[in-house]
Structure 1
């Protein structure tokens, strides 16, 4: 009789079971590699980023010009060269000037027609300057009398003259403008270049009239007197008498 097997020696009917490890080995995952198209996109992105950084770096050191808005407003000046029309010598002394401002309220409408149909009203603020001067070009031979012994001079000058008001367009502006329905329709088919010119002309006339009553004439006389006294006083004359003709 054969020896009975011990617990440490299994029989052939019951072969030994291999021992199971405590932790199973991980199953290796397949390696995923980027495709050729993905690699191309990554390469293009890197190159583009390098180009952008290079442009910003060159722009920072003022090597490249600045990038402007391609849709920005652009003004083109196609004005012709300035043409000299005339030239003349001036023989007048500007003794005083004044700056005036006027509000012109000009309205043009039709009788018996409502204003909302036919109406043209412009509210304009005009600013202009008026000069007062003495013209020395028309002096006659006896206008100047000199006494060398007494060191006196007598001058007879024409009355001061006043220029037409010159509007300052940087300080003149339209405050409001009203137009009737028919005026709006008419303006859509035709232009009236003389419309603004009438407003400007009226402002000039008002300012010129105001300057005549402002005392510029007397200020011009006083300034001319002082100018001539200072001029001839430096030449050694003690008395300078200036007489103005009647305007």
Structure 2
């Protein structure tokens, strides 16, 4: 039978629809779905381009900073120290007539512990191990010379000087070379430190270190060394003034 030309033949345009049990054909992708991969690829290219440009800008800034063209940019979170100290106040001034003839540097290890009887150390205990370095000066005070201390014989170019015995100064700790090795605190001491600091403990350690160094200097022979240096200094001075015989003696301490 002849078909009308106005009737389409479904077998030509939809051949799968004639097959029994066949799945319907997948819908054609929309225009937005076709453009999505292109947009993703374009965004990646823009991102890469931006990163390259930023890297070039950073490299250029670092290069200009290296040649001191651009000012340096400091860390905004860097540590900052503010000195609010008050002006130095002059408390006293005095004239000295001392001749420092010798000095000695000493080091002492102070192990100071304070605890209570019948109380465990883990509860109440303060122990400080301190290394103290200090200097002791030995000097002759020319301000104590009497009128009869100097005898001059111009005819024979002789001079006799009687000086007071050398004196020893107080030990001066060098805080740059002194340091605390270890500290131990009991439980109750740590609780007390949370409310107030025990500065007296540090002061006692410093005083004990000075005392030990001063005592050690007494038996170190600094006084004999000071006498010998003072005698050499005066003999050299008066020989240059034309005296041939210079006798220096010291009073008994």
TM over 0.5: yes
SS where residue 142 of structure 1 aligns? coil
Which structure has more helix as a fraction of its residues?
2
Q: CA deviation at 1:116?
A: 1.0
Q: Once superposed, what is the RMSD of the aligned Cα atoms? A: 2.3
- In structure 1, what is the Cα distance between the partners aligned to 2:181 and 2:54? 55
User: Pairwise mapping of residues 108-123 of structure 1 onto structure 2 (< 5 A)?
Assistant: 108-123=114-129
Q: Which residue of 2 aligns with 1:65?
A: 71
Q: CA deviation at 1:240?
A: 1.0
User: Pairwise mapping of residues 158-173 of structure 1 onto structure 2 (< 5 A)?
Assistant: 158-173=164-179
Kindly provide the CA deviation profile for residues 110-160 of structure 1, in whole angstroms up to 9, marking residues without a partner as x: 111111111111111101000000000121111111000111111111110
Q: Which residue of 2 aligns with 1:175?
A: 181
Q: CA deviation at 1:78?
A: 2.0
Are residues 1:85 and 2:91 paired? yes
- In structure 2, what is the Cα distance between the partners aligned to 1:165 and 1:180? 32
Q: Which residue of 2 aligns with 1:228?
A: 234
- Report the TM-score when normalising by structure 1: 0.80
Q: CA deviation at 1:46?
A: 6.7
- In structure 2, what is the Cα distance between the partners aligned to 1:53 and 1:185? 54
Q: Which residue of 1 aligns with 2:196?
A: 190
Mark the runs of 5 or more structure 1 residues left unpaired by the alignment.
1-29
Q: CA deviation at 1:88?
A: 2.2
- In structure 1, what is the Cα distance between the partners aligned to 2:214 and 2:159? 34
- In structure 2, what is the Cα distance between the partners aligned to 1:206 and 1:50? 67
Mark the runs of 5 or more structure 2 residues left unpaired by the alignment.
1-33
- In structure 1, what is the Cα distance between the partners aligned to 2:226 and 2:63? 65
User: Matched residue pairs, number?
Assistant: 217
Kindly provide the CA deviation profile for residues 14-47 of structure 1, in whole angstroms up to 9, marking residues without a partner as x: xxxxxxxxxxxxxxxx999879x95986886676
Q: CA deviation at 1:216?
A: 0.3
Q: Classify 1:41/1:176 alpha carbon distance in 2 versus 1 (closer, same or farther; 3 Å).
A: closer
Q: Which residue of 2 aligns with 1:155?
A: 161
